[in-house]
Structure 1
Amino acid sequence: MGEKAPGGVQSVERVFELLELITDAGGDVTLSELSASTDLPLPTIHRLLRTLVTLGYIRQLPNRRYALGPRLIRLGEGANKQLGALARPQLKSLVDQLGETANMAVLDSDMVLYVAQVPSLHSMRMFTEVGRRGFMHATGMGKAILAELDDDTVRGIAARKGLPTPTPKSIGDIESLLAELNLIRERGYSIDEEEQEIGVRCFAMAIPGAPTPAAISVSGPVSRVDGSFAERAVPLLREAAQAISEELNQH
Structure 2
Amino acid sequence: MQSVERTFELLELMADSGGEVALSDLAEQSGLPLPTIHRIIRTLVNNGYARQQPSRRYALGPRLIRLGETASRALGSWARPYLAELTEITGESANMAVLDGEQIVYVAQAPSPHSMRMFTEVGRRVDAHATAVGKAVLATMPADEVAQLLARTPMSPKTENTITTIESMHEELERIRARGYSIDDGEQEVGVRCFAVAVPGAPAGAAISISGPEARMTRISTDEVIPLMQRLASSLSAELSASA
Fold shared by both chains (TM-score > 0.5): yes
CA distance in 2, matches of 1:74, 1:151: 31
User: Which whole-Å deviations, capped at 9, do the CAs of 1:136-182 have from their partners, x for residues lacking one?
Assistant: 12111111112122333333333332222222222233322221111
Cα RMSD for the two superposed structures: 2.3
CA distance in 1, matches of 2:2, 2:165: 47
When residues 113 and 86 of structure 1 are mapped into structure 2, their CA distance, relative to the original with a 3 A threshold, is: same
* 2:211 paired residue number: 219
CA distance in 2, matches of 1:81, 1:235: 27
Which of 45, 48, 59 is the equivalent residue of 1:56?
A: 48
**What is the deviation of 1:14?**
4.6
**What is the deviation of 1:102?**
0.3
User: Which whole-Å deviations, capped at 9, do the CAs of 1:73-124 have from their partners, x for residues lacking one?
Assistant: 1211121121111111111111111111100111123121111111011111
3-state SS of paired residue (1:249): helix
3-state SS of paired residue (1:90): helix
Contact between 2:18 and 2:102, CA under 8 Å: does it hold in 1? no
Q: Percent identity?
A: 57
* 1:116 paired residue number: 108
* 2:237 paired residue number: 245
Which of 95, 101, 104 is the equivalent residue of 2:96?
A: 104
1:149 is the counterpart of 2:147? no
Q: Give the letter aligned to residue 120 of structure 1.
A: S
Which of 81, 87, 95 is the equivalent residue of 2:87?
A: 95
TM-score norm. by structure 1 comes to 0.85
Q: Give the letter aligned to residue 48 of structure 1.
A: I
Matches within 5 A, 1:175-214: 175-214=167-206
Which of 118, 127, 136 is the equivalent residue of 2:119?
A: 127
Single out whichever of 51-60 and 225-234 deviates more from structure 2. Answer: 225-234
Single out whichever of 172-181 and 26-35 deviates more from structure 2. Answer: 26-35
User: Which whole-Å deviations, capped at 9, do the CAs of 1:12-65 have from their partners, x for residues lacking one?
Assistant: 455434433433454344445545566866555433322221111111233433
Single out whichever of 120-129 and 53-62 deviates more from structure 2. Answer: 53-62
Query: How many aligned residue pairs are there?
Result: 243
* 2:65 paired residue number: 73
TM-score norm. by structure 2 comes to 0.88
**What is the deviation of 1:198?**
2.2
CA distance in 1, matches of 2:119, 2:200: 25
Gap regions ≥5 residues in structure 2: none
